[in-house]
Amino acid sequence: MLPKKRKFLIAGTVLLLGFGFLGFQAFMSASQYYLTVSELKAMGEKAYLEKSIKLGGTVQPGTISYENNSRLLRFTLTDGAESVPVAYAGIVPDSFKPDTEVVVEGKYSEAGVFQAVGLLAKCPSKYTPAT
């Protein structure tokens, strides 16, 4: 039989390692990398084969269109050097507007359109009052 102190030490170590592992897994899943538009275009045909891609960029002004009947949002995402058209059917965040940084998740089609299933608009780091 193990002494009482040793049992607590072993149990504490196992719990600490378990929580550490769970924390590491949560951190790794929350810190997933996203591609820029230029990186996506540089992938060539390999981009079509990816199951799911996260793509980040800025909404290009003058490219937003919304079809009420199909709830389809279309816009162009740019990183300043390259751009790609995006099609998204889903709930649009309130902070989505031209020149907003967004991250979309989905699949790049061979037609050159990014078919998004998820849309996240980044919050501005500094809020300013409307004028």
Higher local confidence (pLDDT), 49 or 125: 49
What are the pLDDT digits (tens) for 27-39? Answer: 655 555 789 999 9
Q: How much is the pLDDT for 31?
A: 54
* CATH topology (fold) of 37-121: OB fold (Dihydrolipoamide Acetyltransferase, E2P) (2.40.50)
What are the pLDDT digits (tens) for 43-100? Answer: 888 888 888 899 999 999 999 998 888 889 999 999 999 999 999 998 889 889 999 9
Sorted by where each begins, the domain ranges of the chain are: 1-31, 37-121
Contact 52, 105 (CB under 8 A): yes
**C-alpha 18 chain-centroid distance:** 28
Residue 17 confidence (pLDDT) above 90: no
